[in-house]
Amino acid sequence: MIERMAVGWNKEQAARVLGAMAAHPLTSARCEHCAIEIRVVGLEVDPETHCLSVRPVGREPCLKVNPKADLHGEWWYYHFTTNVSAHCVDVLTLVPGTEVTRYLDTHWKYPDALEMTREEPVDD
């Protein structure tokens, strides 16, 4: 299997992505805002950059999504990530990102119970 290279950020872009992650850490419950900020930078690298939502299959509003990362007692009902150069980039993957095809298996408990959908978050 051929691995795609990680996102080709330059130093300034990588710093901006890291800044978005620092401003919206795992426990902030502000993944939408982080995804929007990463999308802005991602469009400089890949014009096809877009956001993806991670939700329970069927989008049942009472079900939670469970990342492998320690949320320190917080719960997520959904999550947003940004697809840049076929890599999900968010606070779970950090700046290098993880290939979209491996993202759920790599970073989530119960990946078969989750679905990723192209969805642009609303910045409130």
pLDDT single digits (tens) 9-48: 999 999 999 999 999 999 998 999 999 999 999 999 999 9
Q: 117: burial class by Cβ within 10 Å (0-12, 13-18, 19+)?
A: exposed
Instruction: Give residue limits of the domains in the chain.
Output: 11-118
Residue 111, sorted as left (phi over 0), alpha (psi -120 to 50) or beta, turns out to be: alpha
This prediction's pTM:
0.91
Q: From CA 56, how far away is CA 78, in angstroms rounded?
A: 7
